[in-house]
Each structure stands twice: as structure tokens, then as C-alpha cells.
Amino acid sequence: MLPIQPFGVSGESRMSAEPQRIEVTLETLLESVALAEEIGVRIAEAAGFDEDDRYKIGMAVREGVINAFQYGNEQSREKKIRLVFELTPDKMVIHVLDQGLGFSLEDVADPLAEENLMKASGRGIFLMKAFMDEFDVRAAQPSGAEVIMAKNYRNAESRTRESHRR
């Protein structure tokens, strides 16, 4: 008898070089922020992350989409926010793409600098960096910014073990 594989998380794909990929297109709406966070948390749960990491991943997705909503797409509803999740054998990779003008990390002010400490905004990028293991920003095609971040599985075996439990 063939072993029953969890839905969408087959042993074959988990071990293959091709990551599992989930892509969502969101409207530039305030409601998209909470929706994106929830999607991120659920995918993280399915991938076997513990509660603390799920919170951090959810927060990073939320901040990435806030950034796209407010600063990238400047709240223009006709522009879209693309959210891509990739589950590789050793990490969860998240891409947040907007259709704005793009930005460089070098131009982002340090919110921990004394002159910025009491500013009401400017902490989103910092939180994404703090909560994820990898973080970068590059130019999206044809325009806009692409935030790329990744969370490693704490234990390389954890995802396999969690998947087999389901």
C-alpha cells in the first residue's frame, strides 16, 4: 500500500531541488495587510515552524505588505502587490513585489539612530530584518521593489518531521 502523503507536501517535492511555490496577488488595500499576514502564518504553520517563528514570519509579511501598500504603491488601488512564498528543503523564502518606484536599502534611515528614535515611522524594514534570517531588496521587473526574505528551519529535519505528522 502506498503511504498517504500530506496534501501539497509530498516527500518527493520536499526533497527535490524545485521549491514549492505559492503566489498571491493582492489589491493595494489596507485589508490586504492583515490578509497577507494570515496567509504567511498559515503557510509557515504548514511548513512546520513553531509559534514564535510563525509570529515573526507573519510580522515580516505584514511589514513587507505595509511597505508595498504605503510607500511602494502609494495606496493606489489599481496597482497590485505580489506575494510569493517558496518552501525549499531548508528555508521559507518570501517575496513581496510592488509597482512603485523602487528603493535602495542604503537610502533607508536607521531607526535606532538617536535622531530617528522618536520618529513615528521608519521601523518596518528594521523589523523585517530583525525577524528573518535573510533580507534583501532589489528592483522588480518591469518596475517597483522586490523585498526578499527567508526564514531557516531551526532544525533541518523539523519540516520533514512535521510534514509526516500530518
Partner 1 sequence: MSFKATPRESGGVTVLDLSGRITLGEGSALLRDTIRQQLAQGRKKIILNLGDVNYIDSSGIGELVSGFTTVKNQGGEMKLLQLTKKVRDLLQITKLYTVFDIHDDERSAISAFGPN
Question: Phi and psi for 25 in degrees, rounded to 5?
Answer: -110, 125
45 near partner 1, judged by CB under 8 A: no
Interface region with partner 1, contact rule CB under 8 A, candidates 54-62, 71-79, 140-148, 157-165: 54-62
55 near partner 1, judged by CB under 8 A: yes
Which residue's CB is nearer to partner 1, number 78 or number 114?
A: 114
| Residue from the set 36, 41, 54, 62 that interacts with partner 1 by CB under 8 A | 62
Do 127 and 108 meet the contact criterion of CB atoms below 8 Å apart?
no
Q: Which three cell numbers stand for residue 37?
A: 499576514
Do 100 and 145 meet the contact criterion of CB atoms below 8 Å apart?
yes
Nearest-10 Cα torsion for 37, 63, 27, 87: -50
| Residue from the set 19, 22, 24, 126 that interacts with partner 1 by CB under 8 A | 126
Question: Within 13 Å and on the Cβ side, how many CA atoms surround 4?
Answer: 4
Which residues make up the interface to partner 1 (CB under 8 A)? 30, 33-34, 55, 59, 62-63, 66, 111-112, 117-121, 123-124, 126-127, 130
